[in-house]
Structure formats: C-alpha cells, structure tokens
Amino acid sequence: MSQSQASGAAMAATVSARISPIGGLDILSRNEVAKLRDASGSGLHALLRRCALAVLTSGNISDDPRAILGQYPDFDIQVLQQDRGIKIELTHAPAQAFVDGEIIRGINELLVAVVRDIVYVATQLEQPSGELDGSAGLTQGVFETLRNARILKPNIDPSLVVCWGGHSISREEYDYTKAVGYQLGLRGLDICTGCGPGAMKGPMKGATIAHSKQRRRHNRYIGITEPGIIAAESPNPIVNHLVIMPDIEKRLEAFVRMGHGIIVFPGGVGTAEEILYLLGILLHPDNAGIPFPLVFTGPRESASYFEQIDRFLRLSLGDEVARHYQIIVDDPAAVARTMVKGLDKVRHNRLDTKDAFFFNWALRIPLDFQQPFPPSHEAMRALQIRHGRPRHELAADLRRAFSGIVAGNVKEEGVQAIERHGPFDIDGDVDIMRALDKLLQAFVGQHRMKLPGGAAYVPCYRVVTH
C-alpha cells in the first residue's frame, strides 16, 4: 500500500509515495536496480523518469515532449530492491495519479510495464551478443520483447485489430473512431493502438461499451509506444497492456507482427509514416498472397483526407498500391464487417501455412524497414525519393521522410536538432516533392501536425520542389 504526502508544488499538485508494484514485474537483480538508479550518462534513470512521468500523467493532452517535465521539474522515481520484493519510490509525482493517497491501480500497472520494458531492453536486447544482428535477429528481438510483456496469447483465433490515426483530430473524427471501435467490440474483437489520445483512444473507448454489452470480460486494449513518443503521447486511461519498444522501427514491426488487420483513421505525418511502412512491406514480392486486411476510414467530413492520401500513394508508388487497401467513408458497421471477413482469410491462411495466430512469422520485413533511422539533417538529405526504384524501397525512404518530420515535431532529439540547425531538407523527383509538399500543407491547414491551443505550427521541414 502507498504511504503518501501531498506537497505544494508551484506549478502542479504533487504526491510523494512508496508503492508496491502490481501486475507482472519479476524480481530484479541488484545490477538491474543499480542501472535504473544510475543518473550518469550510462544509466537508465533519465529514460525511466521520462517514461514514468508520461504514465503518471495518463490522459494528458499535450504533444510537447518538454511540457510535462516542465510541470514536474522535481519529480523523481527510484526502484528499491527489498528482501520481500520491489518497491517503487515516487517523489513529487503528479497528484492526478492518486485517489485519497492511493495510486490508481491501472496507473500502477502501467508503471510496472515501464520498469519491465526498460530493464528488459537494456539487459537482454542491447547486450553485445550478436544474436540480434540482421533481419531475422531483429524480428526475434521484437518477439522476445512482446513475449516478456506477456501479451502474446496462443490458442486464440485472430481477433486483434490495430488502429492507427492522429493524436490531433477533430471532434467529429474522434467520435467516428469511437463508433468504429464500438462495432468492432460488438463482434468480439480486441484493439491495439499507439496508446495515446485522439484516434488511439477513441476505438478503445467505443470497444469498452460494446464489450460490456456483450458481457465480454477478458478484453485487450494494447498500447504500443517507444521512448521518443511516450513523453509527447501519454498513454490513455483505457490501455490495460502497455509495451514500450526500443525504437519506432520495432514499434511498427510489433504492430504488424501482432495485429491481424489494421484500420487507419485520419491523422498527420505519423499516420502517413505508418501507412507507408505497412504498404512497403505488402509491396515486397516475398509477401504476395499473404492476406492482411487494411481499411482507411473516417467520417464524411474527412473524405478529402483519404482522397489526398490515395492520390499521393498512387503517384509515388503506382496505381497497383491501391489493391492493398479499401477506403470506407462514414460507415462504422461496414468497416467492422470488412475487418471480420479479412480476419477470416487471415485465420485460414495461418492454418494452411502453419503460422502462429499470435505472431506473424511469415511476413517478410526487409532490413531497411527495421534499422533505426536517425532524425538528422544529413540522413534526411540522403533519402532517395525517386521513381525507378523498387516500390518497396521507395516506400521505405518515404517512410523515413515522414519519420524525420515526426521527430522534428514531437521527439526531443528531433526538436533539438531543428533548434540548432534549422528545418530538415527533403529532396527527390519533382512530381513526388510537389505532391508531398501539397500533402504536408494540407496537414498543417487541417491542424494535424500539432494539438490545437498552442503556438502556431512552424514547419520543421523544407520540401525542395524545383
């Protein structure tokens, strides 16, 4: 139980407490605890502090990676090894995570997930063993991280729908994501998202009501994030399984390996990055014939958004790319029925190929989709966004371009790079650059780059269109 004491912080109410973790945290070694306490450059304490604060402010509406730390400058977290197990000591923690001096149970569980994943990645995946080199090794690392998080469930028919979409969306779009989630929940499907607000929260919220109506009690609302994103997109309160992957590439691979189908709602550059990641994989010749239901959907007011996306994809990757997705406007029930039919094809294919239901081993993900992309000015200038390349390779570089813009918008390392050296330059074939510039301008005009209410958006990129 927690022993807490409120403090009168100048910027936000805080609580200090020592809590007993709930939900699947194994005993830690002295060496692991020491790494979590180490505040030096080689330690994990800064990462732990940043991710823990994001969880403790679950439901926070902000996409500024520095804002939360600014609100709670004195916050600290320590993991203590005691004879009877682990204790987590919180100092000047956000008071919103507590009720009458007791930490909210769901937040306790998410806090445990933070400690679990940070320790596992640092002590298992990032050791110089060489086992995770190459494409197969990186996929093995994704599998092991998910297995350690205990969310890979055998003997369950394909039922996990990944929902992608923006954190900065209109009220009409948010309500639509809830309606789709409700229809999915009525059909007994589980939800996996990026765990933040907006289109990541809405489907989960809708599904909770439908699951309750169907008296379905063992529901999964899985949130998959990574350290560079979590501070800007705190987990929404509905997430009951949180996984922090080491980087955006492993996060994206986790989505497509675990998910049985994907629904894309309106969003910004992060959503475009996700779309290009998946389509690049599906365009690879080795993946021909592997069913993977993909639906783009939104309310009637957002029809033009998907028209813009569709035009850009066809121009850059060819008309054939459109056979990999369906666009359904303003019909949540049709989206759910389409997904159920798609999942049935997935089930039969996995049975025929003897592939696991809980992890898509058969899908070929090339190494250039798996290797981390550094959001630097040099890396962005080096992208080869040109016709004549294999389509999956062009999609990989387009994905990297959007990934760099995401970093410049919301990731601390990217924001700092823009402050020091100015906007990223993106160059390539003129027709693709003009289409890209038009698409990005539409995102800005529709307020899809940043949450409304703050300062006017200043682009972190410059598209070369001559």
128 vs 252, more confident: 252
Task: Kindly state whether residues 115 and 74 are assigned to the same domain.
Answer: yes
Task: Kindly state whether residues 376 and 363 are assigned to the same domain.
Answer: no
Q: Among 367, 399, 430, which residue terminates a domain?
A: 367
Q: Confirm whether 414 is domain-assigned.
A: yes
Cβ-based neighbours of 120, under 8 Å, separated by 6 or more: 145, 148
Q: Confirm whether 132 is domain-assigned.
A: no
- Condensed to tens digits (0 to 9), the pLDDT of residues 385-436 reads 999 999 999 999 999 999 999 888 878 788 888 999 999 999 999 999 999 9
Q: Among 367, 399, 429, which residue terminates a domain?
A: 367
Task: Kindly state whether residues 98 and 193 are assigned to the same domain.
Answer: no
Task: Identify any residues that bridge with 162 across adjacent strands, giving them in sequence order.
Answer: 192, 262
Q: What is the pLDDT of residue 61?
A: 63
* 295-314 average pLDDT score: 95
Among the ranges given (25-29, 125-129, 192-196, 247-251), the one the predictor scored with the smallest mean pLDDT: 125-129
* 87-103 average pLDDT score: 93
- Domain membership of residue 408 as a residue range: 369-463
- Condensed to tens digits (0 to 9), the pLDDT of residues 194-215 reads 998 999 999 999 999 999 999 9
Task: Kindly state whether residues 167 and 274 are assigned to the same domain.
Answer: yes
Is the confidence at residue 5, as pLDDT, over 50? Answer: no
CATH number at residue 261: 3.40.50.450
Which is it for the CA torsion 423, 428, 431, 432, positive or negative? negative
* 107-125 average pLDDT score: 87
CATH number at residue 81: 3.30.1850.10
Task: Kindly state whether residues 172 and 93 are assigned to the same domain.
Answer: no
Task: Kindly state whether residues 165 and 302 are assigned to the same domain.
Answer: yes
Q: Among 367, 402, 425, which residue terminates a domain?
A: 367
Task: Kindly state whether residues 231 and 295 are assigned to the same domain.
Answer: yes
Q: Confirm whether 173 is domain-assigned.
A: yes
Question: pTM value?
Answer: 0.90
Give me 296's structure tokens. Answer: 């783009």
24 vs 4, more confident: 24
Q: Confirm whether 18 is domain-assigned.
A: yes
Q: Confirm whether 131 is domain-assigned.
A: no
Q: What is the pLDDT of residue 458?
A: 84
Task: Kindly state whether residues 202 and 302 are assigned to the same domain.
Answer: yes
* Residue 16 · residue 93 · CB < 8 Å: yes
Q: Confirm whether 130 is domain-assigned.
A: no
Give me 333's structure tokens. Answer: 């029930």
Task: Kindly state whether residues 147 and 58 are assigned to the same domain.
Answer: no
Q: Confirm whether 427 is domain-assigned.
A: yes
What is the helix (H) or strand (E) element at residue 3, kind and residue range? Answer: strand 3-7
What total number of domains does the chain contain? 3
Task: Kindly state whether residues 383 and 240 are assigned to the same domain.
Answer: no
Is the confidence at residue 227, as pLDDT, over 90? Answer: no
Task: Kindly state whether residues 373 and 359 are assigned to the same domain.
Answer: no
Task: Kindly state whether residues 168 and 101 are assigned to the same domain.
Answer: no
